[in-house]
């Protein structure tokens, strides 16, 4: 079962009792499809961005639920034929990351000090080449 959320808009000309009945009907649709409703959030009446089925306002309802992914098409089909629901949108919620166990860092390894031996550098040849005194005539 996966987690989903649905936002649907109910006709604004219905009173609060009718909106509650629509919410119960949607909950029943989800439960008949072997799902479970986690949370219901009623946003209330809001103005629509454009007219939908000759309605300028609608009551918004947001619900979180769990259901099998193969049951989503039949839930959408049932919502499409429900006259009180103007629009709906079902979105799959991102899966929660499983916490990975914290592994302590490995014990600190102290490297042995590295002893650098001095290297002899020839300085006379390099200086004489820079001065142009390398024995060649110009």
- Residue 102's pLDDT is 76
Question: How do residues 29-40 score in pLDDT, each as one tens digit?
Answer: 999 988 999 999
- Residue 25's pLDDT is 93
Higher-pLDDT residue of 62 and 136 is 62
Query: Are residues 55 and 12 in contact, defined by beta-carbon separation less than 8 angstroms?
Result: yes
Which has the closest alpha carbon to 22: 82, 104, 92? 82
- Residue 95's pLDDT is 81
Higher-pLDDT residue of 20 and 129 is 20
Is the confidence at residue 46, as pLDDT, over 80? yes
Neighbours of 40 (CB within 10 A): 14
Query: Collapsing DSSP states into helix, strand and coil, what is residue 11?
Result: strand
Higher-pLDDT residue of 110 and 93 is 93
Is the confidence at residue 121, as pLDDT, over 60? yes
CA atoms within 13 A on the CB side of 32: 9
Is the confidence at residue 135, as pLDDT, over 70? no
Token pair 């909106």 is found at 19
- Residue 137's pLDDT is 52
Token pair 């959320």 is found at 5
pTM above 0.85?
no
Q: What integer is the mean pLDDT of 89-117?
A: 78
Higher-pLDDT residue of 132 and 83 is 83
Query: Are residues 38 and 66 in contact, defined by beta-carbon separation less than 8 angstroms?
Result: yes
Ordered by start, the domain boundaries in the chain are 2-92
Architecture label for domain 2-92: 2-Layer Sandwich (3.30)
């Amino acid at each position: 079962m996966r987690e989903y959320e649905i936002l649907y808009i109910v006709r604004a000309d219905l009173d609060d009792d009718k909106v509650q009945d629509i919410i119960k009907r949607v909950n029943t649709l989800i439960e008949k499809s072997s799902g479970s409703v986690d949370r219901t959030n009623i946003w209330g009446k809001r103005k629509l961005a454009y007219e939908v089925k000759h309605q300028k306002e609608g009551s918004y309802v947001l619900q979180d639920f769990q259901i099998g992914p193969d049951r989503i098409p039949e839930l959408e089909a049932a919502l499409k034929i429900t006259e009180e629901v103007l629009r709906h949108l079902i979105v799959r919620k991102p899966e929660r990351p499983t916490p990975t166990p914290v592994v302590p860092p490995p014990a600190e390894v102290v490297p042995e000090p590295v002893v650098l031996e001095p290297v002899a550098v020839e300085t006379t040849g390099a200086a004489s080449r820079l001065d142009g005194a390398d024995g060649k005539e110009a």
